[in-house]
Structure 1
Amino acid sequence: MTWSWEYHPDEQYVAAEAPPALLAEIERRADELVRAAEARHLDGTGHQGPGEGLRTATVANGFFVYFVVPRQQRVYVCQVTGV
């Protein structure tokens, strides 16, 4: 299993009305978050204890809410907001 990110529950629900430029920025930032989570949790599948909780990341023209699940080696983007 390798680290990755995805929309939760799915892209249509989370990002249906977001402009393409905002989504491109979010996807670029989500890729960075995956690399950071992978470095922080070298063996995510063996992680014990609670997750990190919801976090917010800002990008040009908006922000998004995400959470990291080390045991699944996933970063989940669960809300997208444009400003």
Structure 2
Amino acid sequence: MSWKWEYAFGAEDAARTVPADFLAAVERKADELVRAAEALHIHGHAHEGFDPKAGEIIVRGGWFGYQVVVRSERVHVVHITYLGC
């Protein structure tokens, strides 16, 4: 399995209601998170410690929250907040 990102919880529903340019910015940042996690956790499936702390990233028009799950080799986008800017 290789690293990927996916929407989790209600973020997938929220993604259907936000403008396409905002969603594209979120997805670009999620792609960057995947590349960084893959570089940092080369042997993700063998990881035995705790997962990194959840975080939030600001993008133009709002922000989103994410959680890296190392053993699953996933970055989960857990919430999306669009401010309408």
TM-score normalised to structure 1 length? 0.91
Asked if the contact 1:47–1:71 (Cα under 8 Å) also holds between the matched residues in 2, the reply is yes
Unpaired segments ≥5 residues, structure 1: none
| Aligned residue in 2 for 1:24 | 24
How far off is 1:9 after superposition? 2.9
Q: How much identity, in percent, do the aligned residues show?
A: 43
Q: Equivalent residue of 1:64, what SS?
A: strand
How far off is 1:56 after superposition? 0.3
| Aligned residue in 1 for 2:76 | 76
RMSD (CA atoms): 1.4
TM-score normalised to structure 2 length? 0.89
More helix by share: 1
Asked if the contact 1:4–1:34 (Cα under 8 Å) also holds between the matched residues in 2, the reply is yes
How far off is 1:57 after superposition? 0.7
Q: Equivalent residue of 1:26, what SS?
A: helix
